[in-house]
Amino acid sequence: MGGQSRTGGRSKAGGGHGTGADPYFPDNGDPRYRVTRYELALEYRPAPNRLAGTARLSAVAGRAPLAEFFLDLARFRVGRVLVDGRAPHHVHRGGRLRIRPAEPLPAGAAFTVEVHWSGNPKPVRSPWGGLGWEELTDGALVASQPVGAPSWYPCNDRPADKASYRISVTTPSAYTVVAGGRLLTRTTRASTTTWVYEQPAPTSSYLVGLAIGAYRTVLLGEPGLGGVPQSAHVPTALLPRFSRDFARQPAMMRLFEELFGPYPFGEYTVVVADEELDVPVEAQGMSLFGANHVDGARGSERLVAHELAHQWFGNSLTIADWRHIWLNEGFAKYAEWLWSERSGGRTAHEHAAAAHRLLAGLPQDLRLADPGRKLMFDDRLYERGGLTVHAVRCALGDEAFFPMLRDWATAHRHGVVSTGGFTAHVARYATGSADELLGPWLDAPALPPLPAAPTPA
């Protein structure tokens, strides 16, 4: 998630390896099975805000027989439910769809679930405001971090449960539909158009983005020169300002591929909603910005870098559970500083010094490695997360730090990561103890001293 300050208004919220319930959201997700693929077929009518859908999930039972399991789904009308083609017993209550197959599923068994649902989608409530599906003045958008995905489709809503997706959306032909992944087909019949997107990379439920609106589609960069395909979907009136604000995104992509390794997905798209959003938010292969993030003066360029960096840190490298949120936001924050440093702005050390001064004047009650649900999107987590990455750079020196950073992103590509895993990774590059280096930053609320500037390579 870009920037900070997720309080009030139209909020868009951006241990082990996810083998148990998430400690921050124990009522979301079911660790007894995993989903390998979602196939969603949706019909949406913007005027009455009416959504009807069919979901087909391919899943695998865990190490124990599965007599029942849960899907997360908000208050829709649930129609037919099938497990391996047979009707199970099911109960839909309190945002949870409890499914009991006719026969228990054996441990390790592959199975399919089909769910039909319909209703008027709306955001789910959270400490940060409404999350997930949001009806706009003319269209809709989805920004689900951290627990908004059930606002529009049935899912196993836990970050470590990553699956491929095919999403089909039928809506009036005046609207453009944008989802993360490759557009396979666009078929118009009478007054409606069906858009079909495929995202083959493993994707967490909260990272499935969707936007429906009246957009102009533009390409970023220079077509034909290779590299990552980049596009944007922007309201016509905002195109002149957008063209300046996002002009340097292709250069960011080249820099981040140099620093973090190859871009993890097949394409990258940006959507600018024709409404204000508190903060931009990442989705898999796409990012969502508000009209207020486009000013024609590159006033939000750091957020452009932040959201792009999340494609590596958060999307490809996904946290085991929400205790590890700093691995998303701290690395995306540090990417802002690296872009500034490499593009002629302030150095990363100057940014780190400014962040340190800021944090030194604020309460010292945040434990970065486990901030608690209340503080997981606190401004201080972003700044201290960036400072922690910078402290590693200062200790290792650039000659070791940048290979460490690239190896972290490439070794865990499309995987699940944790704070303990990062500490172990740093230990392979550090001359001293990684625990002694990282412990004060990760585990102690008190702010450590600002480290000396890093040794250049």
Enumerate the domain spans of the chain: 33-309, 325-442
* CB contact burial 211-241 (16+ within 10 A = b; e otherwise): bbbebeeeebbeeeeeebebbbbbbeebeeb
Question: Which 3 state secondary structure label does DSSP give 162?
Answer: coil
Residue pointed to by tokens 């009246």: 214
Residue 19: predicted pLDDT = 59
| CATH for 325-442, options being 3.50.30.30, 2.102.10.10, 1.20.58.760, 1.10.390.10 | 1.10.390.10
Strand 89-93 with 96-100, pairing:
antiparallel
Distance CA 255, CA 229 (A): 15
* CB contact burial 271-291 (16+ within 10 A = b; e otherwise): bbbbbebbbbbbbbbbbbbbb
C-alpha 6, offset from chain centre:
15
Torsion of CA 234, 236, 241, 246, to 10 degrees: 30
Q: Are 124 and 148 in contact (CB under 8 A)?
A: yes
Give 247's contacts (C-beta < 8 A, 6+ positions apart).
Answer: none
Distance CA 231, CA 219 (A): 4
Strand 230-234 with 216-220, pairing:
antiparallel
Distance CA 429, CA 182 (A): 37
Q: Are 281 and 300 in contact (CB under 8 A)?
A: no
Residue 222: predicted pLDDT = 67
Q: What is the pLDDT of residues 312-361, one digit of tens each?
A: 999 999 999 999 999 999 999 999 999 999 999 999 999 999 999 999 99
List the chain pLDDT tens, one digit each, 457 residues.
775 443 333 333 333 344 578 999 999 999 999 999 999 999 999 999 999 999 999 999 999 999 999 999 999 999 999 999 999 999 999 999 999 999 999 999 999 999 999 999 999 999 999 999 999 999 999 999 999 999 999 999 999 999 999 999 999 999 999 999 999 999 999 999 999 999 999 999 999 999 999 999 999 976 666 789 999 999 999 999 999 999 999 999 999 999 999 999 999 999 999 999 999 999 999 999 999 999 999 999 999 999 999 999 999 999 999 999 999 999 999 999 999 999 999 999 999 999 999 999 999 999 999 999 999 999 999 999 999 999 999 999 999 999 999 999 999 999 999 999 999 999 999 999 999 999 999 999 999 999 998 878 7
pTM of the model: 0.94
Same fold, 33-309 and 325-442: no
Q: Which two tokens stand for residue 108?
A: 């390790």
> What single string gives the DSSP state of each residue in 233-279?
EE-GGGHHHHHHHTTTHHHHHHHHHHHH-S-SSS-EEEEE-SS--SS
> How far separated are the first and last CA of the chain, in Å rounded?
31
Residue 3: predicted pLDDT = 55
Residue 4: predicted pLDDT = 46
| CATH for 33-309, options being 3.40.50.300, 2.90.10.10, 1.10.10.60, 2.60.40.1730 | 2.60.40.1730
